[in-house]
C-alpha cells in the first residue's frame, strides 16, 4: 500500500513496524455536542483504512479517543448544571447513535482522557525531567518549544512562526518563558474538575492527552496517526514534540490527514447558518448516503457538501442495493451445474475486479476509483446473470460484491432507507432505470426511449436532472 505521508509530503510504501500488524491512532471527538459533517469525514475515511488493512491480512489495533475534559465541555456542563462526566457520558452515547448509522466500526480501544490521568501526569513529569517542560508559579506546566529542535517538521511552521491555534483554548498567560510555549497541565480554576498532581490540583492540556493515550496502547513508536487537516497544526505538531521529547524516539512513521469540507461552496460556520451536524442530516437522509458521498472523492481532496450531493449518493446506493437483491434472488433458484465458458469468463472478470479494487485502495486509499470498480462489477453482473445462470457464477458475483462493498462499509443492510423519501423502487423498476442509464451512456437513444416508455407503463414517472435520473410513482 502507498500512503501519502504528511510528514515527508510524498507517497511512501507502507512498511509496518511489526510484520503482519498495524497500529493506528485516530483523533476522536470532543464530546460536548453532536458531531458535525467535518468530524464525520475522518471517522469514515480511517474506518475504511482499517477495513482495507484487515482485508489485506493485517492484525490492526485501531485506537480512537474521546476528549472528555475541555474548556467547552466545562462551559456547557456549567450552563446545564450537570457534571462534565454526565455531559461526556451523554454525548458519547449520542456519538454511537450517529457513528453506527454511518457504518463506523468500533475501534479496538476507545480511551477517554479522564481515565488516563496517571499516564498523562507521568508523561508531563518525564518532559520536565528531560528539560522540555517547566512548571510555572501558578501551577501550570508548559512545553518549552525552543528545547525541541524538530519543531515544525510536520506543519512546516518554525518556532518563530508558531501561532496559538484557536483550538488550544488557552487563557492569556503571564508566566511563560516564551509566547510559543504551550500548556501541558492547567492549574485548577474555581468550579473546574481537577486531579491531584505534583504541580497541584489541575487538569491536562488537550495535546498531551493524545500523546499519553496513543503511546499507552500502541507503544512509544507506532505506524499511523490520522485525523483532519485542521489538526495538523498545532495539535499534531505538538504531539510530536511532546512524545519525541519524552522518549527520544520517532513518534509515528506515517501521518495521514483528510481534506476540508465546504457547505454549498462556503466554509461551514454557524454564523453563515450552514452548520450541519450528522444528527441534523439523519432527519432527511439515511446516513449511509453520507458515507457514500464522503468516499466518492479522494480523502485528501476538499469536498463540497450539499443536499443535492447527498441525494445523488443515495441514488447511487440504491442501485447497489437493487443489484445485490437481484443477485440474492437469482442465487436462491440458481441451478447446480458446472459454469459455462461464458460464466467462467465472468468468474475471471470478478477476480480482475477485485484486483483493480485493491490496486485503487492501495494507491493512497483511492476510494473514488474503488467505487467505480464496484459499479463496473454491478453492470457486468446485471448484463450476464439471469435465471439460468449457474449457482457458482451467481454466488461468486455476490461474494465479490459483498466483500468490496464491505470494505467501503455500504450496501450491507437489509435495505436503504430515507426518512424524507417515499419507499424504495421495486427491484424490476430500478433495474430498468439502471439499464436506461447505461443505454444513455452508450448513446443508445432508441433503447433509452423504450425503457422510459416501459417505466411509464408500469406507473412511474422518470425525470432527467443534473443529479441524474429521478423516478417517482405516478400520482
For domain 2-282, the CATH architecture is: 3-Layer(aba) Sandwich (3.40)
Confidence of residue 162 (pLDDT cuts 50, 70, 90): low
Distance set, CA 72 to CA 33, 76, 181, 317 (Å): 10, 6, 22, 37
What average pLDDT score do residues 180-198 get?
Answer: 96
pLDDT value of position 356: 98
- The better pLDDT of the pair 455, 398 is held by 398
pLDDT score, position 169? 40
Q: What is the tens place of the pLDDT at every residue in 298-345?
A: 999 999 999 999 999 999 999 999 999 999 999 999 999 999 999 999
Radius of gyration, CA atoms only, the chain: 26
User: Which ranges in the chain are annotated with CATH 1.20.120.640?
Assistant: 307-424
Distance CA 215, CA 251 (A): 9
Q: What is the pLDDT of residue 419?
A: 66
Give the phi and the psi of residue 357 in degrees, each rounded to 5: -60, -50
Stretch 142-160: mean pLDDT, rounded?
91
Give the three cell numbers for residue 204. Answer: 491536562
What distance in Å separates the CA atoms of residue 410 and residue 428, rounded to the nearest whole number? 22
Q: Is the pLDDT of residue 164 over 50?
A: no
Residue 136 pLDDT exceeds 90:
yes
Average pLDDT (4-10) is: 98
Over range 246-262, report the average pLDDT.
Answer: 97
| Per-chain mean pLDDT for the chain | 92
Has domain 307-424 been given CATH number 1.20.120.640?
Answer: yes
Whether the predicted pLDDT of 174 surpasses 70: no
| pLDDT at residue 165, as a whole number | 42
Mean pLDDT of 400-424: 84
User: With pLDDT > 90 as the criterion, what percentage of the chain qualifies?
Assistant: 80
pLDDT at 466 (0 to 100): 55
pLDDT of residue 38: 93
418-439 residue pLDDT tens: 665 545 677 778 888 888 988 8
Average pLDDT over every residue of 216-241:
97
- DSSP-derived secondary structure letter, 316: H
What is the pLDDT, as a whole number, of residue 463? Answer: 82
Distance, in Å, from the CA atom of 117 to the CA atom of 253, rounded to the nearest integer, reads 26
The lowest-confidence range among 168-177, 382-391, 446-455 is: 168-177
**Residue 157 scores a pLDDT above 80:** yes
Under 8 Å between Cβ of 14 and 52: no
Average pLDDT over residues 97-108: 97
- CA–CA gap between residue 474 and residue 463 (Å, rounded): 12
Q: Sign of the CA dihedral 30, 105, 225, 230? A: negative
Q: Residue 467 pLDDT > 60, yes or no?
A: no
39-67 per-position pLDDT tens digit: 999 999 999 999 999 999 999 999 999 99
Residue 167 has pLDDT above 50, yes or no: no
Give the model's pLDDT for residue 161: 63
Strands 202-204 and 252-258: unpaired
Question: In this structure, what are the phi and psi dihedrals at residue 60, rounded to the nearest 5 degrees?
Answer: -100, 130
**Start and end residues for every CATH 3.40.50.620 domain found in the chain:** 2-282
Q: How far is CA 23 from the centre of its chain?
A: 17
Predicted local distance difference test score (pLDDT) of residue 4:
98
Other CB atoms closer than 10 Å to residue 182's CB: what's the count?
26
Q: What confidence score (pLDDT) does residue 233 get? A: 96
CA–CA gap between residue 266 and residue 273 (Å, rounded) = 11
Q: Is residue 387 a contact partner of residue 332, using CB atoms and an 8 Å limit?
A: no
**For 350-389, how does the pLDDT look when each residue is reduced to its tens digit (9 = 90+)?**
999 999 999 999 999 999 999 999 999 999 999 999 999 9
Amino acid at each position: 500500500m502507498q500512503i501519502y505521508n504528511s510528514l515527508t509530503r510524498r507517497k511512501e510504501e507502507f512498511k509496518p513496524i511489526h510484520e503482519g500488524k498495524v497500529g493506528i491512532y485516530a483523533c476522536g471527538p470532543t464530546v460536548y455536542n453532536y458531531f458535525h459533517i467535518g468530524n464525520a469525514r475522518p471517522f469514515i475515511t480511517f474506518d475504511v483504512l482499517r477495513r482495507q488493512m484487515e482485508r489485506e491480512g493485517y492484525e490492526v489495533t485501531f485506537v480512537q479517543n474521546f476528549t472528555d475534559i475541555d474548556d467547552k465541555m466545562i462551559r456547557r456542563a456549567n450552563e446545564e448544571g450537570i457534571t462534565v462526566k454526565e455531559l461526556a457520558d451523554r454525548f458519547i452515547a449520542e456519538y454511537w447513535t450517529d457513528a453506527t448509522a454511518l457504518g463506523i466500526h468500533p475501534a479496538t480501544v476507545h480511551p477517554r482522557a479522564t481515565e488516563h490521568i496517571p499516564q498523562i501526569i507521568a508523561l508531563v513529569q518525564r518532559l520536565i525531567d528531560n528539560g522540555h517542560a517547566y512548571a510555572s508559579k501558578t501551577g501550570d506546566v508548559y512545553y518549552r518549544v525552543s528545547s525541541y529542535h524538530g519543531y515544525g517538521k510536520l506543519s512546516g511552521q518554525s518556532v518563530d512562526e508558531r501561532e496559538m491555534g484557536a483550538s488550544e483554548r488557552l487563557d492569556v498567560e503571564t508566566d511563560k518563558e516564551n509566547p510559543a510555549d504551550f500548556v501541558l497541565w492547567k492549574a485548577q480554576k474555581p468550579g473546574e474538575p481537577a486531579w491531584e498532581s505534583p504541580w497541584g490540583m489541575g487538569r491536562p492540556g488537550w495535546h498531551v492527552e493524545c500523546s499519553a493515550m496513543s503511546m499507552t496502547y500502541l507503544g512509544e513508536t507506532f505506524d499511523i496517526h490520522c485525523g483532519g487537516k485542521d489538526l495538523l497544526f498545532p495539535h499534531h505538531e505538538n504531539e510530536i514534540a511532546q512524545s519525541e521529547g519524552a522518549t527520544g524516539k520517532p513518534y509515528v512513521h506515517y501521518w495521514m490527514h483528510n481534506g476540508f469540507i465546504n457547505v454549498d461552496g462556503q466554509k461551514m460556520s454557524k454564523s453563515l447558518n450552514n452548520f450541519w451536524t450528522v444528527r441534523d442530516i439523519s432527519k432527511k437522509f439515511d446516513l449511509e448516503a453520507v458515507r457514500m458521498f464522503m468516499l466518492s472523492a479522494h480523502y485528501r481532496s476538499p469536498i463540497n457538501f450539499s443536499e443535492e450531493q447527498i441525494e445523488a449518493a443515495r441514488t447511487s446506493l440504491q442501485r447497489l442495493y437493487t443489484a445485490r437483491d437481484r443477485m440474492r434472488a437469482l442465487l436462491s433458484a440458481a441451478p447446480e451445474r458446472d459454469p459455462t465458458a461464458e460464466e467462467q469468463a465472468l468468474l475471471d472478470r470478478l477476480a480482475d475486479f477485485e484486483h483493480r479494487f485493491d490496486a485503487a485502495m492501495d494507491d493512497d486509499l483511492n476510494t473514488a476509483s474503488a467505487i467505480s470498480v464496484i459499479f463496473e462489477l454491478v453492470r457486468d453482473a446485471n448484463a450476464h446473470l439471469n435465471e439460468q445462470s449457474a449457482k457458482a457464477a451467481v454466488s461468486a458475483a455476490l461474494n465479490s460484491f459483498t466483500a468490496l462493498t464491505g470494505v467501503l462499509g455500504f450496501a450491507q443492510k437489509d435495505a436503504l432507507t430515507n426518512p424524507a423519501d417515499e419507499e424504495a423502487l421495486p427491484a424490476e423498476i430500478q433495474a430498468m432505470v439502471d439499464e436506461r442509464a447505461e443505454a444513455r451512456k452508450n448513446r443508445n437513444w432508441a433503447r433509452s426511449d423504450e425503457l422510459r416508455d416501459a417505466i411509464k407503463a408500469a406507473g412511474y414517472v422518470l425525470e432527467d436532472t443534473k443529479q441524474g435520473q429521478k423516478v417517482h410513482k405516478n400520482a
